[in-house]
Structure 1
Amino acid sequence: MIIQTKFLGAVEIKEDAIITFPEGIPGFHDETQFALIPLNETSPFLVLQSVKNEQVGFMVATPYAFKADYAFDLVPEDVAQLAIEKPEDVFVYGILTLKDTLEQSTINLLAPIVINEQTKLAKQIVLPGEDEALLRYPLKKVAEGSAK
């Protein structure tokens, strides 16, 4: 199927790749179906794009590209809601805030996107705590080539 995207224009996606957010994303509760689209084969960045509304798209990346020791625990309710059976089925992404330069851009590590790759169920989890450094974690390290 072809969808219109915020950043990439028209893109073809497979219907079985559609990710469902049963509760939507905070601030976008009516948007429940998304596609995860790589920018290109070598970029660590992807687009989390609403399937129905081309204006709702988020640049995302795996947090581990920027903070290798990033970790959090899912509460049992989230594990059940996402039907997670094995940890290796879980993919985690952070939403980016893009600025004029990559060095000024940040990733939100306080509210990761958690996706069960097997069931295609997803949720944005708001982690407890108010660590401002995790809310706007810099991408500068990638721009400098020091991320692992």
Structure 2
Amino acid sequence: MVQKTGRIIHSRVGPLQVEQDRLVYFPKGLVGFEMQREFALVRVREDSAFFLLQSCTDPALGLMVADPYVYVPDYRIKVGTPEQELLRLKNIREAVVLVTVTIPAGKPEDAVLNLVGPLVINARLRRGMQVPQNQMRHPPRVHLAAGKAKSGDEQVPREIG
């Protein structure tokens, strides 16, 4: 049996034990958080499309992210050659796409997906970047209540690691 190595990172919800294969390196950081480069991707629940993208160095920086395809099955993004090179993608199928989720305080029913700034992650190398989109077929934000997949149609997002 192979023992996975992990580390403890601190978050607003307390310490989290994170396996090495759940860490993602963002060479350019994220928009607004350019100095934060290493994040842990922690599944909220086993059967959930939601993850916590937690900074490994700043306990206050944790973003809720989700698999957009569960809610917007025809969501498409453009990833240019420079971005593919930075991510070291050999094939676009190595990429996992996540989007940030905004949940207003006390109003989870008003949660929205931000489709303008998807996170693209090379699943093989666990290397990611935010790839802003400027020409989209969808509105910039989609309310989860309006865009939710029909019961039974939900997909399990592709895993990192």
- Shared topology, TM-score over 0.5? yes
What does the per-residue CA deviation read over 1:61-87, in whole Å, with 9 as the maximum and x for residues that have no partner? 000011000012211000101000122
If each structure's strand is expressed as a fraction of its own residues, which one has the higher value? Answer: 2
Residues 66 and 12 of structure 1: is their aligned pair in 2 closer, same or farther, counting only changes over 3 Å?
same
**How far apart are residue 137 of structure 1 and its match?**
1.0
- Asked if 1:57 corresponds to 2:57, the answer is no
Matched positions, count: 146
Instruction: Determine the structure 2 residue equivalent to 1:128.
Output: 134
Quote the sequence identity (%).
27
Match of 2:118 among 101, 105, 112: 112
What's the TM-score, normalizing by structure 1? Answer: 0.89
Q: Partners of 1:41 and 1:72 in 2: how far apart?
A: 26
Q: Partners of 2:108 and 2:99 in 1: how far apart?
A: 15
- Deviating above 3 A after TM superposition, structure 1's stretches of 4 or more consecutive aligned residues are 143-148
**How far apart are residue 96 of structure 1 and its match?**
0.5
RMSD: 2.1
The one-letter amino acid paired with 2:132 is V
Contact 2:121 / 2:128 at 8 angstroms: preserved in 1?
yes
Gaps of 5+ in 2: 1-6, 155-161
The one-letter amino acid paired with 2:140 is L
What's the TM-score, normalizing by structure 2? Answer: 0.82
Contact 1:47 / 1:60 at 8 angstroms: preserved in 2?
yes
**How far apart are residue 145 of structure 1 and its match?**
4.6
Q: Partners of 2:110 and 2:150 in 1: how far apart?
A: 12
Within-5 A mapping of 1:28-107: 28-99=33-104, 100-107=106-113
Gaps of 5+ in 1: none
Contact 1:108 / 1:134 at 8 angstroms: preserved in 2?
no
Structure 1 residue matching 2:85: 3-state secondary structure? helix
